[in-house]
Amino acid sequence: MKKTLIISANFLIVIFSIFFVVLYARKQSAEMKAYNTDNFMTMSIGMEQVTTNYLEGEQRLCDSWAACINRRKMNMSEAMSYLKVAQRIQNISAHIIRLDSFTGYSNKPKIDNPNEFTVSYQEIDIFSSLNELLGQQEQVRVTRSYTNPMNGIQSIAFCDLLELRVDEEDSVGKTNTAASETSTSKSKSSHFEKAVLMRVIPVELLASKWVFPSEKYSDAQISMIDSEGNYIIKGKSFKNSNFFEFYKSYNQVTKENFENLKSKIHETGMLTMLNSKGINCLIVHIPVNTSFDWTLLTYIPMEDITKNNIDWLLVFVVSISLIVLLVFDILVIMRFNRKLAATAEEADLANKAKTVFLSTMSHDIRTPMNAIIGLTTIAEKNVEDSNSVSDNLHKIKQASNHLLTLINDILDISKVEHGNISLSPVRFSILELAENLENMALPMVRQKNIDFKFQKNNISEEFLYADKLRVNQIFINIISNAIKYTPDYKEVFVDLSEKPSEKENFVKLIYKVSDKGIGMSESFMEIMYEPFIRQTDSRINSIQGTGLGLAITKKMVDLMGGTIECESKEGEGTTFTVTLDIEVPEVEKDAPVQEENNFDLTDMNILVTEDMDVNWEVISTLLGMYGIKSQRAENGKVAVDILRNVKPGEIDVVFMDIQMPVMNGLDATREIRKLENPYASKIPIIAMTADAFSENIAECLEAGMNGHIAKPIDINNVIRELRKLRQTTPKN
C-alpha cells in the first residue's frame, strides 16, 4: 500500500513538473522574443540616427567648402588649391566637376599615376538624380554608391553647387593637369560657369559607423537602398544587386503583396523573410530622414531573436530525468539503505580505530607517567643522596618533556585538521635553536650508542623571523624519529644549511636528516603523512609513538609554505629534507639577546594570579631564586580588587593565568584595563597559561595583555620576558 502510494505521488509530481516546465518555457519564449524584437527595432532606429547625424555632418562640411569658394569667387585653379589644403583625410577626396562636360579635377591623384589629377564622370550616371537636389537648401545632397574613377573604390559623394570664375585668358581649359592651373595669367575680364563640388567618401568608411552595441546582435548587418531598391550600402548577406530582387528570388510572394512591400519599405516597420540559405530572418526598414529616397535596412537571423528562449533539449532532458527518477525511485531507496549499512560498518571500523588509538595513547602516556611517579618515589627515599636525587630529577624532566610532547601532538593534529591553527612569527636565533636541538638529541643518541653528527653549513643570517615554536616542532619530530627508529651503533647525520631565497629579504633554510635505520616500505611511504599511521613491523612494536609526528610535521611545513621530501629503503635507512623560506628581520639598533647581568631584577614586585597551589609554589620559588618579590591573587576578581587601589611601585608586573574560577584571566584583564586608577589600567600583564597555541596567544593580546608565557614554566623565558618589559617600561 505504501509502495503504491509513493509511486503514485511521484508519478503525479513528474507529470505536473513536465507540464509546468513546458508552459513556463513557452511563456518565457514568447516574452523574450517580443523583448528582443523591440530591442532590435530600437537599436535599428538608433542606427538611423547615427546615419542621419553622419550624413548631415558630412554635408555641412561640403557646404562650408562650397560657400568659401563661391564667396571668394575662385576659379578652378584657386578652388583646387584650396581643397588640397582643406581636405587632408587619407581615405576621403574632393572633386570639382563641370556640369557642361562632366569633367574636372581631384585634389588627390589617380592611384596608378601620381601626376594625374583630371577626373571624368562622363561614363558615370550619378548627376541626373541630383539636378533637383542641387538647388535646394537644408538638404543632404548625396549620390548613390558608385566606383570612384580615381582609385576604383566603391564610394558615395556629398555635393554642392559651385559658380567658378572663368578668366578669358585663363589656361585651365587648355591644360590637362591641375598643376598647370597654378600658372595662369591674369585676365582682363571673366565670366562664371556652374560646377559640382563633391566630397567623395568610401562606402566602407560609412559602413564602419554601423556597429550594434550588443554582443547579442553580433550577426546583425546593415544595408541602405534607394527608392528603387538599389543598394547604396550592401551587407554581406544581402544578395543580388537590388533588395526587391533579393526578396523575390528567395521568397514566394504574390504580385499584390510584392507591390505592397515596395510601397511600405520606405516607411518605418519590420518584416520577416527567407535569406539565400533558407533561414528565416528579421528585416527592420527605416527611412533616412535627411534623404528623399534612401532607406536603412537592418538584418538579423530570427534564431538570434529567439535565442535564450525555450530550450526544448533542456525540457526533454528534464522530462526524461523526472521519468527516470520515477522508475528508479525504489531502487535508489534500496541502494541508499545499502549505503547506510556500509556507513554503519565504516563507523564501526572507525570506533575500533579510536579504541586502538586510545589504547596506544594510554600506553604511551602511562609510560612517561610511570617513570615520573617511580622516579619521584625513588628520589623521596634517597633524599639525602644528592647525586641520586639529581639523576632522578634529570630523568623526571626528560619524561615530563616526553609527556608534554605527546599531549601537544594530540592537540596540534586536532587543531590542524580543523583549520584552527595559525602562525605567530618572532625574531629568534637559528644557531641557538640548532644548539638546543643538538643538546636534546645527545642523551638519546648516547643511550643507543649512535654515531651522531650535527653539521651547520653556510649560516650567514643568525636571526630569523618565523614561528619559532613550529620550526622547532618540525625539526624535533624529524630528528626524534631518526634516532628512535635507528638501531644501536648505527648512524644519524643532521645537516642544517642556508641558501639564497628567490624571495627578497628571505633565506632558504634546508634541514636534512639522514639515518641508517630500519627504513620504510614504499606502500607505507604513500600514507605516512596520515594521522595515527604507523608502519606495521615487529621491529618497531616496542617503540613508543602515536603516529602523529609526521602528520603534524607535514601540516606545519605546508602551513609555512615549505616542502618536505623523503627518500627511504627498507633495511638501509631514511633521509628527510625540509626546505623553508624564512624572513630575515631588520637589524635592530640594540641587540631580543642580553647577558643575564645586564639588568637588576631584584627590585621587581610581581602579582601572580594563580588558583592552583602547586603552580603558585613553583613560580614564586623560581622568582625568589632571582631575588624577585611576588604575591598571589587566587583568581581574576581578587587581582582586579588588589589593583584597584595599587600605587606606583607596589606592583610592577602581573602574571595572569587564564583558566580560573570566579573570574578568568581574559575577563580580569579587560576589567583591569577599564580601572580608573591610571597606573593600574596600564600595568604590564603577562599571560602565564597552559593555553600555548597561536590562537590562544592572539586572544590574550586582544584582551589587552602585553605578552605570553606557556606552561610548564621555563624560568629562562620568564626572565627574558621581564627584561623585555624592563627595557620598554620606564622605572618608577
> Of the candidates 227, 232, 229, 233, which has an alpha carbon nearest to the alpha carbon of residue 210?
233
DSSP 8-state symbol, 473: H
Q: Are 684 and 654 in contact (CB under 8 A)?
A: yes
Q: Do β-strands 653-656 and 506-515 pair in parallel, antiparallel, or remain unpaired?
A: unpaired
> Of the candidates 643, 408, 645, 437, which has an alpha carbon nearest to the alpha carbon of residue 549?
408
Q: pLDDT at position 417, please?
A: 54
List, in sequence order, every residue forming a beta bridge with 454; answer none if it has no partner.
494
Q: pLDDT at position 720, please?
A: 79
Please give the backbone phi and psi of residue 539, each rounded to the nearest 5 degrees, phi first: -75, -20
Q: Are 631 and 607 in contact (CB under 8 A)?
A: yes
Cα 456 to Cα 486, 495, 539, 645, distances in angstroms:
22, 6, 32, 54
Q: pLDDT at position 683, please?
A: 94
Q: How many residues does the chain have?
A: 732
Cα 377 to Cα 371, 396, 399, 403, distances in angstroms:
10, 11, 14, 18
Q: Are 23 and 334 in contact (CB under 8 A)?
A: no
Q: pLDDT averaged over consecutive 10-residue blocks of the chain (732 residues)?
A: 65 76 78 84 84 86 93 94 88 92 93 92 78 61 86 90 82 42 50 93 79 71 85 83 91 90 89 91 85 81 75 70 71 72 74 61 65 82 85 78 67 56 80 85 86 92 88 88 90 94 94 92 83 54 59 87 93 94 74 48 89 89 89 95 92 93 94 94 90 73 88 79 75 52
Q: Are 695 and 662 in contact (CB under 8 A)?
A: no
How remote is the C-alpha of 526 from its chain's centroid?
A: 33
Q: pLDDT at position 367, please?
A: 59
Q: Which amino acid is at 720?
A: R
Compute the distance between CA of residue 727 and CA of residue 732 in angstroms, rounded to an integer: 13
Q: pLDDT at position 357, please?
A: 59
Q: Provide the 10 A C-beta neighbour count for residue 573.
A: 22
Compute the distance between CA of residue 677 and CA of residue 682 in angstroms, rounded to an integer: 9
Q: pLDDT at position 634, please?
A: 94
* Element counts in the chain: helices (H) and strands (E): 20, 23
* Positions of E strands within 657-714: 685-689, 707-710
Q: Cell numbers for 476, please give them.
A: 624535533
* Angle at CA of residue 604, ends 602 and 609, nearest 5°: 125
Q: Is the pTM of this model over 0.75?
A: no
Residue 136 CB contacts under 8 Å (≥ 6 apart), including other chains: none
Q: Quote the radius of gyration of the chain (alpha carbons, Å).
A: 48
Prior bond to 712 cis, omega within 30? yes
Compute the distance between CA of residue 64 and CA of residue 516 in angstroms, rounded to an integer: 98
Compute the distance between CA of residue 181 and CA of residue 170 in angstroms, rounded to an integer: 8
User: What is the distance between the terminal CA atoms of the chain, rounded to a whole angstrom?
Assistant: 89
Q: Are 726 and 455 in contact (CB under 8 A)?
A: no
Q: Cell numbers for 678, please give them.
A: 591610571
